[in-house]
């Protein structure tokens, strides 16, 4: 743990002369990226499970994502203010404790057989994850050279994808496969053990991060404290930040929506006809592709501009989704699963491009971007309504529209410009 302390009596701002601090901090943060990826991906298991338990329509089942990602919209800005006041490390601890409380609430939700209580538990859990996002993402962006921020955040996000790759097997065996052999209350009870285990893990991590000595970041304020002109203004004045927020909205919406419908899509007779617990394991290919792509993308973006890589990946996602919409069988199945590979670098790349050049407005910018994660609440709900009315396969045209905007942002919208007054 040595070498990761801030220097007493001096500015706590990090500089490129402290690489040891960077390595230790980034290594510590990877556990958080893994865990929130794991928890978020479990929603893809909960959706078909609770849809069957409570006999829900697609739109009603998508309220799971609506409540989970709706928390980002409600909590992000207060979380940004909290992190700015208390610091990134304390924000991480607070987020972990809140997330643990949400996981523990799954136990009474299952005992009461109440879908609304499940939704409330998801909201609490997501509130904790939001505080973690607001704390950890900008921390990673700042810990190093600005020109490699996209690569650095992409690398740590690869561990987020490792969590999402493991989670489908965890959920398939402990929730869906158990539920397949039970009926009634036993099906709902299947979530109690797994989520209590997660609560314990979150509390252990909270204790660890409370005692770790990590570098303190003050968002380069010492460089601007005597510059009144730079101290004024708002992150909203930066066009690339605002467009980046739209990019985060549509990206998270598309990624979450596709993942949310995968089990039901692969269950379709014309696609693969798999049982739900079998289909759930294939979600690992979707998220596993994102993991592999992030490791590759972290290296590629050392040589190729992040915006160009983003635009290329968005165009490939469009081609694959259209293929899944217009074909059947194995071709449609693998086309939709391969979208994950091209999703890989999108979130961290949009995030870091949008924060580029914000300096003292970084916390506010991060809060705005995390606010935009509400796309994960809105887009799946809209696709659920479409699936109920025009069919599941055709409803995937909505994510196509999302990726069209992302291609534009990578090609043009992400270019940094002076703030607009």
Determine the Cα–Cα distance for residues 262 and 337; give it in Å rounded to an integer: 8
Encode pLDDT of 100-128 as tens digits.
999 999 999 999 989 999 999 999 999 99
* Res. 229: pLDDT tops 60: no
CA–CA dist 284, 279 (Å, integer): 10
Question: Residue 80 pLDDT > 90, yes or no?
Answer: no
Give the pLDDT confidence score for residue 418 in this predicted structure: 62
Higher pLDDT, 15 or 332: 332
**Domains of the chain, first to last:** 21-217+233-413 (1.20.1250.20)
Mean predicted confidence (pLDDT) in 116-143: 87
Whole-number pLDDT of residue 421: 60
Q: From the CB of residue 99, how many other CB atoms can be counted at a distance below 10 Å?
A: 29
For the ranges 10-19, 79-88, 96-105, 188-197, which has the lowest average pLDDT?
Answer: 10-19
Least confident of 44-53, 69-78, 252-261, 399-408: 69-78
Q: What does 14-69 look like in DSSP terms, one character per residue?
A: --TT-HHHHHHHHHHHHHHHHHHHHHHHHHHHHHHHHHHHTT--HHHHTHHHHHHH
Percent of the chain with pLDDT over 90: 47
Token pair 């901090």 in the structure block, residue? 25
For residues 243 and 247, give the distance between their C-alpha atoms in angstroms, rounded to a whole number. Answer: 6
pLDDT of residue 11: 32
* Higher-pLDDT residue of 362, 395: 395
pLDDT, tens digit (0-9, with 9 covering 90-100), for 314-345:
999 999 999 999 999 999 999 999 999 999 89
Largest pairwise CA distance in the chain: 67
Least confident stretch, 70-84, 90-104, 125-139, 140-154: 140-154
Q: What is the mean pLDDT of the chain?
A: 84
> Residue 344 corresponds to which tokens in the numbers above?
């890989």
What is the structure's pLDDT at 231?
52
Q: Whole-angstrom Cα distance, residue 408 to residue 221?
A: 33
d(CA 330, CA 340): 16
Is residue 84 predicted with pLDDT exceeding 50? yes
Give 174-224 pLDDT, tens digit per residue: 888 776 666 544 467 888 889 999 999 999 989 988 888 777 655 544 333
Residue 253 has a pLDDT of 96
Q: Where are the alpha helices (DSSP H) in 147-275?
A: 149-171, 177-180, 185-189, 192-211, 228-231, 239-267
Mean per-residue pLDDT, 4-25: 42
Q: What is the mean pLDDT of residues 73-101?
A: 89
CA-CA distances (angstroms) from residue 200 to 100, 196, 368, 374, 396?
Answer: 7, 6, 30, 27, 37
**Mean local confidence (pLDDT), 64-69:** 94
The pLDDT > 70 percentage for the chain reads: 84
DSSP state of 232: S
Mean pLDDT of 231-258: 89
The answer on pLDDT for 135 being more than 70 is: yes
pLDDT at residue 18 in the model: 41
Closest CA to 150 of 298, 289, 330, 364: 298
Predicted local confidence at residue 198, as pLDDT: 93
State the DSSP code for 373: G
pLDDT, residue 386, reads: 97
Q: Are 68 and 118 in contact (CB under 8 A)?
A: no
Task: Give the tens place of pLDDT for each residue, 366-417.
Answer: 778 877 888 999 999 999 999 999 999 999 999 999 999 999 999 998 887 6
Radius of gyration of the chain (CA): 21
């Amino acid at each position: 743990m040595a070498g990761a302390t801030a220097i007493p009596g001096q500015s706590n701002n990090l500089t490129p002369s402290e690489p040891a601090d960077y390595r230790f901090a980034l290594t510590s943060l990877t556990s958080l990226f893994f865990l929130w990826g794991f928890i978020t991906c479990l929603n893809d298991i909960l959706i078909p499970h609770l849809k069957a338990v409570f006999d829900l329509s697609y739109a009603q089942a998508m309220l799971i994502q609506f409540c989970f990602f709706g928390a980002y919209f409600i909590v992000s800005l207060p979380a940004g203010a909290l992190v700015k006041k208390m610091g990134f490390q304390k924000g991480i601890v607070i987020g972990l404790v809140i997330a643990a409380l949400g996981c523990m609430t799954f136990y009474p939700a299952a005992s009461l057989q109440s879908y609304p209580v499940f939704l409330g538990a998801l909201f609490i859990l997501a509130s904790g994850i939001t505080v973690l996002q607001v704390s950890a993402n900008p921390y990673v962006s700042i810990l190093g050279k600005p020109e490699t921020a996209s690569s650095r955040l992409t690398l740590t996000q690869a561990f987020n994808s490792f969590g999402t790759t493991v989670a489908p097997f965890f959920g398939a065996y402990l929730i869906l496969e158990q539920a397949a052999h039970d009926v009634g209350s036993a099906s709902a009870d299947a979530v109690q053990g797994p989520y209590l285990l997660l609560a314990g893990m979150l509390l252990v991590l909270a204790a660890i991060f409370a005692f770790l000595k990590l570098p303190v970041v003050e968002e380069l304020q010492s460089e601007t404290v005597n510059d009144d002109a730079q101290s004024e203004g708002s992150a909203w004045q930066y066009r690339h930040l605002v467009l980046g927020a739209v990019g985060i909205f549509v990206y998270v919406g598309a990624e979450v929506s596709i993942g949310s419908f995968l089990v039901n899509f692969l269950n379709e007779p014309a696609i693969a006809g798999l049982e739900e617990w079998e289909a759930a394991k294939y979600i690992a290919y979707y998220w596993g592709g994102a993991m592999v792509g992030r490791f590759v993308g972290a290296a590629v973006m050392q040589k190729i501009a992040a915006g160009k890589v983003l635009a290329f990946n968005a165009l490939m996602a469009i081609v694959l989704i259209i293929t899944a919409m217009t074909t059947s069988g194995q071709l449609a199945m693998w086309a939709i699963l391969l979208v994950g590979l091209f999703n890989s670098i999108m979130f961290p790349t949009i995030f870091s491009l949008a924060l580029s050049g914000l300096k003292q407005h970084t916390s506010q910018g991060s809060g705005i971007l995390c606010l935009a994660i509400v796309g994960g609440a809105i887009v799946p709900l809209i696709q659920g309504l479409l699936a109920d009315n025009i069919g599941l396969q055709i409803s995937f045209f909505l994510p196509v529209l999302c990726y069209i905007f992302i291609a534009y942002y990578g090609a043009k919208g992400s270019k940094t410009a002076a703030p607009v007054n």
